[in-house]
């Protein structure tokens, strides 16, 4: 899976977006948590 990672500096949340489908995304307080949440959404 390929994804992009963004950091919202105001809320200190990482957002991970599926590179092939911008509509699929997930948030987390760490990059690892955001990736894990994204994988759970896709599964």
Task: Write the pLDDT tens digit of every residue in 9-18.
Answer: 999 999 999 9
Residue 38 DSSP class: H
What's the pLDDT score for residue 6?
A: 97
pTM for this prediction: 0.88
- 5 SS3 class: strand
User: Domain coordinates of the chain in residue numbers?
Assistant: 3-42
Residue 38 has a pLDDT of: 97
Give dist(CA 17, CA 21) in Å, integer.
8
Q: What percent of the chain has pLDDT over 90?
A: 93
Cβ atoms of 34 and 14 closer than 8 Å: yes
């Amino acid at each position: 899976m390929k994804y992009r990672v963004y950091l919202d500096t105001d809320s200190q949340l990482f957002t991970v977006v599926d590179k092939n489908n911008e509509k699929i995304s997930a948030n987390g307080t760490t990059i690892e948590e955001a990736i894990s949440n994204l994988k759970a959404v896709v599964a």
